[in-house]
Amino acid sequence: MNFRAIWAIYKFEMARTKRTIMQSIVSPVISTCLYFVVFGSAIGSRIETVEGVNYGAFIVPGLIMLSLLTQSVTNASFGIYFPKFIGTIYEVLSAPISYMEIVLGYVGAAATKSLMIGVIILFTASFIVPLQISHPLIMALFMVLTAISFALLGFIIGIWADNFEKLQLVPLLVITPLVFLGGSFYSINMLPPVWQTISYFNPVVYLISGFRWSFYEISDVAPLLSLGAVAIFLTVCMSVIAWMFKTGYRLRD
């Protein structure tokens, strides 16, 4: 394993974050806090508690997941697409490093950025609502696995996209709606039986449910099932990336 190569890619991507800190860190945090203020005030005034948890505190795990998912996908997709766009990807591909080392560098940086945002949002929310973290280690595990999994998805999107419009297509039209419909601001148990069944086909439900369980020990699906869903998604993404590098899909054109 060429750790020097991994570190070089990782360091370069993190340096780009420092140069665009307003766009990379500050803007997503402010946007999420606005969601928190609007939903917490508008809906929280009508719904005091959900399954025994203050509504403002109930939506915190969903908002953190919303930020983690969207930022992981966006950071990873742009991180690999921009070298393709300007042509420097060929220098990386011609270097004596494996595809796994390339993926670790780009995905590691993207996951780190989204985790930083998630931690900042969690820290900020702790001053606004009464948070309770029953299982901090499981919470951290869900955050890390989710950030890595969706950074891998973003990496796939970045390789697949051949213009900036496609780069934004999946996060805007797929990821964000799935998160909003995945129980971020409500419990699946509050829905009619038919819509509950439909919701279980949404993979984001399992992520948010397991993450919320680590806070309040309440969930829409079993926590182990949530972890299993994350593991399966991560494996699928890694398999797709391996195929892309093996075949040179949109990398050697």
Residue 115 banded pLDDT, cuts 50, 70, 90 = very high
> Within a domain: residue 42?
yes
Domain span including residue 38 = 3-247
Flag whether 136 is in a domain. Answer: yes
In a domain, 252, yes or no: no
Look at residue 253 and tell me if it is in a domain: no
**pLDDT range class, residue 109, cuts 50, 70, 90:** very high
The span from the CA of 203 to the CA of 214, in Å, is 18
Q: How far apart are CA 172 and CA 22, in angstroms?
A: 20
Whether residue 29 is contained in a domain is answered as: yes
**Is the CB of residue 136 less than 8 Å from the CB of residue 144?**
no
3-state secondary structure at position 181: coil
DSSP assignment string, 159-218? HH-SSHHHHHHHIIIIIHHHHHTTTSSS-GGGS-HHHHHHHTT-HHHHHHHHHHHHHHS-
Averaged pLDDT for residues 146-162? 92
Residue with tokens 């900020």: 124
CA distance 184 to 57: 12
Q: Return all residues near 215 (Cβ < 8 A) that are at least 6 apart.
A: 57, 60, 61, 131, 132, 133, 134, 139
Residue 40 has pLDDT above 80, yes or no: no
Total structural domains within the chain? 1
